[in-house]
Structure 1
Amino acid sequence: MSGSTVTLNNLMIETHLSEIAEDNGRFIQLGSGAVWERWSCDADHGSGPCHEPLLTQGQAATLVGQPVVFCLDSPAMAPIKVTVLGAEFGFQLSELYHLSDVVAEFRKAQD
Protein backbone atom coordinates (compact mmCIF):
# COMPACT_ATOMS: atom_id res chain seq x y z
CA MET A 1 0.00 0.00 0.00
CA SER A 2 1.58 3.27 -1.03
CA GLY A 3 0.96 6.56 0.76
CA SER A 4 0.09 9.75 -1.04
CA THR A 5 1.54 13.13 -0.19
CA VAL A 6 -0.25 16.43 -0.25
CA THR A 7 1.63 19.59 -1.15
CA LEU A 8 0.21 22.89 0.06
CA ASN A 9 0.54 25.84 -2.24
CA ASN A 10 0.85 28.58 0.37
CA LEU A 11 0.40 31.42 -2.12
CA MET A 12 -2.76 29.85 -3.55
CA ILE A 13 -4.19 29.33 -0.06
CA GLU A 14 -3.34 32.89 1.04
CA THR A 15 -4.85 34.32 -2.15
CA HIS A 16 -8.06 32.33 -1.67
CA LEU A 17 -8.32 33.37 2.00
CA SER A 18 -7.77 37.01 1.00
CA GLU A 19 -10.56 36.75 -1.59
CA ILE A 20 -12.91 35.29 1.00
CA ALA A 21 -11.95 38.00 3.49
CA GLU A 22 -12.59 40.73 0.93
CA ASP A 23 -15.99 39.23 0.12
CA ASN A 24 -16.99 38.86 3.78
CA GLY A 25 -14.87 41.43 5.57
CA ARG A 26 -15.61 44.99 6.57
CA PHE A 27 -13.55 48.05 5.80
CA ILE A 28 -12.31 49.72 9.01
CA GLN A 29 -10.69 53.14 9.09
CA LEU A 30 -9.18 55.20 11.91
CA GLY A 31 -7.36 58.45 11.17
CA SER A 32 -5.48 58.02 7.90
CA GLY A 33 -5.06 54.21 8.14
CA ALA A 34 -7.54 51.65 6.85
CA VAL A 35 -7.69 47.83 6.87
CA TRP A 36 -10.03 44.97 5.95
CA GLU A 37 -11.44 43.16 8.96
CA ARG A 38 -11.35 39.40 8.42
CA TRP A 39 -12.49 37.99 11.74
CA SER A 40 -15.11 38.74 14.36
CA CYS A 41 -15.36 37.57 17.96
CA ASP A 42 -17.95 34.91 18.76
CA ALA A 43 -17.09 34.75 22.47
CA ASP A 44 -19.55 35.66 25.19
CA HIS A 45 -17.92 38.29 27.43
CA GLY A 46 -20.93 38.44 29.72
CA SER A 47 -23.65 39.96 27.55
CA GLY A 48 -24.08 37.49 24.70
CA PRO A 49 -21.93 36.90 21.62
CA CYS A 50 -19.51 39.78 21.04
CA HIS A 51 -19.44 39.97 17.19
CA GLU A 52 -16.84 42.74 17.43
CA PRO A 53 -14.25 42.89 14.62
CA LEU A 54 -10.89 41.31 15.46
CA LEU A 55 -7.70 42.78 14.00
CA THR A 56 -4.21 41.35 13.61
CA GLN A 57 -1.20 43.03 15.19
CA GLY A 58 -0.23 44.50 11.82
CA GLN A 59 -3.73 45.81 11.15
CA ALA A 60 -3.94 47.32 14.65
CA ALA A 61 -0.53 48.97 14.15
CA THR A 62 -1.69 50.45 10.83
CA LEU A 63 -4.83 51.90 12.38
CA VAL A 64 -3.02 53.29 15.43
CA GLY A 65 -0.14 54.62 13.31
CA GLN A 66 2.55 52.62 15.11
CA PRO A 67 5.33 50.29 13.90
CA VAL A 68 4.17 46.75 13.12
CA VAL A 69 5.93 45.40 16.21
CA PHE A 70 3.92 46.88 19.06
CA CYS A 71 1.42 45.75 21.65
CA LEU A 72 -1.59 47.39 23.23
CA ASP A 73 -0.73 48.74 26.69
CA SER A 74 -3.82 47.64 28.57
CA PRO A 75 -6.51 46.04 26.41
CA ALA A 76 -9.90 45.64 28.06
CA MET A 77 -10.20 42.17 26.53
CA ALA A 78 -7.32 39.71 26.32
CA PRO A 79 -5.86 39.31 22.81
CA ILE A 80 -6.75 36.04 21.09
CA LYS A 81 -3.76 33.94 20.06
CA VAL A 82 -4.04 32.39 16.59
CA THR A 83 -1.80 30.72 14.04
CA VAL A 84 -1.74 32.62 10.75
CA LEU A 85 -0.53 31.26 7.41
CA GLY A 86 1.64 33.77 5.56
CA ALA A 87 3.17 33.47 2.10
CA GLU A 88 6.71 34.37 3.23
CA PHE A 89 7.11 32.65 6.58
CA GLY A 90 4.44 29.92 6.64
CA PHE A 91 2.57 29.37 9.90
CA GLN A 92 3.21 31.99 12.59
CA LEU A 93 1.71 32.72 16.00
CA SER A 94 -0.13 36.03 16.07
CA GLU A 95 -2.65 37.90 18.21
CA LEU A 96 -6.05 39.29 17.33
CA TYR A 97 -7.23 42.45 19.08
CA HIS A 98 -10.81 43.62 19.59
CA LEU A 99 -11.60 46.77 17.60
CA SER A 100 -12.71 48.62 20.76
CA ASP A 101 -9.22 48.12 22.27
CA VAL A 102 -7.57 49.41 19.07
CA VAL A 103 -9.91 52.44 19.03
CA ALA A 104 -9.04 53.16 22.69
CA GLU A 105 -5.31 52.96 21.84
CA PHE A 106 -5.85 55.29 18.86
CA ARG A 107 -7.66 57.84 21.03
CA LYS A 108 -4.91 57.64 23.64
CA ALA A 109 -2.29 58.36 20.94
CA GLN A 110 -4.31 61.40 19.80
CA ASP A 111 -4.21 63.02 23.27
Structure 2
Amino acid sequence: MKIKFEGICPHCQKPIELIRDLAPELIEAICKPIPQVLHPEETTASVIDLDWLKEQQEELLARGLESWDNKGLKDRIDRITGCKSAKVSEAVGNLTKEQGEAFVKTIQDTLEMA
Protein backbone atom coordinates (compact mmCIF):
# COMPACT_ATOMS: atom_id res chain seq x y z
CA MET A 1 0.00 0.00 0.00
CA LYS A 2 1.24 3.47 -0.82
CA ILE A 3 0.64 6.46 1.41
CA LYS A 4 1.00 10.07 0.41
CA PHE A 5 2.22 12.72 2.82
CA GLU A 6 2.05 16.39 2.00
CA GLY A 7 3.45 19.02 4.27
CA ILE A 8 5.95 21.79 4.78
CA CYS A 9 9.66 21.12 5.16
CA PRO A 10 10.63 22.23 8.68
CA HIS A 11 14.00 23.44 7.42
CA CYS A 12 13.30 25.34 4.18
CA GLN A 13 9.52 25.89 4.65
CA LYS A 14 8.83 24.65 1.10
CA PRO A 15 5.94 22.30 0.32
CA ILE A 16 6.96 18.65 0.18
CA GLU A 17 5.27 15.48 -0.98
CA LEU A 18 6.35 12.04 0.10
CA ILE A 19 5.00 8.75 -1.20
CA ARG A 20 6.02 5.54 0.53
CA ASP A 21 5.25 1.86 0.36
CA LEU A 22 4.16 0.45 3.68
CA ALA A 23 4.44 -3.16 4.72
CA PRO A 24 1.10 -4.80 5.64
CA GLU A 25 2.32 -5.33 9.23
CA LEU A 26 3.02 -1.62 9.59
CA ILE A 27 -0.38 -0.72 8.18
CA GLU A 28 -2.03 -3.04 10.70
CA ALA A 29 -0.06 -1.50 13.56
CA ILE A 30 -0.90 2.04 12.45
CA CYS A 31 -4.61 1.32 12.07
CA LYS A 32 -5.10 -0.17 15.54
CA PRO A 33 -6.86 2.20 17.92
CA ILE A 34 -4.60 3.69 20.55
CA PRO A 35 -5.99 3.33 24.08
CA GLN A 36 -6.42 6.55 26.01
CA VAL A 37 -4.03 6.71 28.91
CA LEU A 38 -4.97 9.02 31.74
CA HIS A 39 -2.85 9.96 34.67
CA PRO A 40 -4.57 8.89 37.90
CA GLU A 41 -4.86 12.50 39.08
CA GLU A 42 -6.79 13.39 35.93
CA THR A 43 -9.49 10.85 36.69
CA THR A 44 -9.96 11.84 40.32
CA ALA A 45 -9.17 15.55 40.38
CA SER A 46 -12.03 17.94 40.93
CA VAL A 47 -12.05 21.38 39.36
CA ILE A 48 -13.14 22.80 42.74
CA ASP A 49 -11.50 21.76 45.99
CA LEU A 50 -14.31 20.11 47.95
CA ASP A 51 -12.88 21.18 51.33
CA TRP A 52 -12.80 24.80 50.15
CA LEU A 53 -16.35 24.48 48.82
CA LYS A 54 -17.56 23.10 52.17
CA GLU A 55 -15.95 26.05 54.01
CA GLN A 56 -17.55 28.55 51.64
CA GLN A 57 -20.90 26.82 51.96
CA GLU A 58 -20.70 27.01 55.76
CA GLU A 59 -19.92 30.73 55.52
CA LEU A 60 -22.84 31.33 53.14
CA LEU A 61 -25.20 29.46 55.45
CA ALA A 62 -23.86 31.35 58.48
CA ARG A 63 -24.77 34.59 56.70
CA GLY A 64 -28.35 33.41 56.35
CA LEU A 65 -28.22 32.34 52.70
CA GLU A 66 -30.12 29.10 53.19
CA SER A 67 -30.48 28.46 49.45
CA TRP A 68 -26.81 27.40 49.56
CA ASP A 69 -27.56 24.20 51.49
CA ASN A 70 -26.47 20.86 49.96
CA LYS A 71 -29.57 20.56 47.77
CA GLY A 72 -29.32 24.17 46.62
CA LEU A 73 -25.61 23.84 45.90
CA LYS A 74 -26.11 20.62 43.95
CA ASP A 75 -29.04 22.09 42.00
CA ARG A 76 -27.06 25.24 41.08
CA ILE A 77 -24.21 23.15 39.70
CA ASP A 78 -26.62 20.79 37.90
CA ARG A 79 -28.17 23.80 36.14
CA ILE A 80 -24.71 24.87 34.99
CA THR A 81 -23.67 21.43 33.72
CA GLY A 82 -27.06 20.21 32.50
CA CYS A 83 -26.56 16.98 34.47
CA LYS A 84 -28.56 15.43 37.29
CA SER A 85 -26.41 14.52 40.28
CA ALA A 86 -27.14 12.67 43.49
CA LYS A 87 -24.49 14.46 45.58
CA VAL A 88 -22.59 17.75 45.59
CA SER A 89 -19.30 15.94 44.96
CA GLU A 90 -20.79 14.24 41.90
CA ALA A 91 -22.13 17.57 40.63
CA VAL A 92 -18.73 19.23 41.08
CA GLY A 93 -17.15 16.36 39.15
CA ASN A 94 -19.36 17.24 36.16
CA LEU A 95 -18.03 20.81 35.95
CA THR A 96 -15.56 21.76 33.24
CA LYS A 97 -12.61 23.90 34.25
CA GLU A 98 -14.28 27.01 32.84
CA GLN A 99 -17.60 26.25 34.55
CA GLY A 100 -15.77 25.63 37.82
CA GLU A 101 -13.92 28.94 37.60
CA ALA A 102 -17.17 30.78 36.91
CA PHE A 103 -18.90 29.03 39.82
CA VAL A 104 -16.06 29.91 42.21
CA LYS A 105 -16.41 33.55 41.12
CA THR A 106 -20.16 33.37 41.79
CA ILE A 107 -19.50 32.10 45.32
CA GLN A 108 -16.89 34.80 45.97
CA ASP A 109 -19.18 37.54 44.63
CA THR A 110 -22.08 36.25 46.74
CA LEU A 111 -19.93 36.29 49.88
CA GLU A 112 -18.78 39.85 49.13
CA MET A 113 -22.37 41.05 48.77
CA ALA A 114 -23.74 39.15 51.79
Task: Tell me the TM-score normalised to structure 2 length.
Answer: 0.28
Q: Say which one has the larger Rg.
A: 2
Higher strand share: 1
* Higher relative contact order structure (alpha carbons within 8 Å, sequence separation ≥ 6): 1
Higher helix share: 2
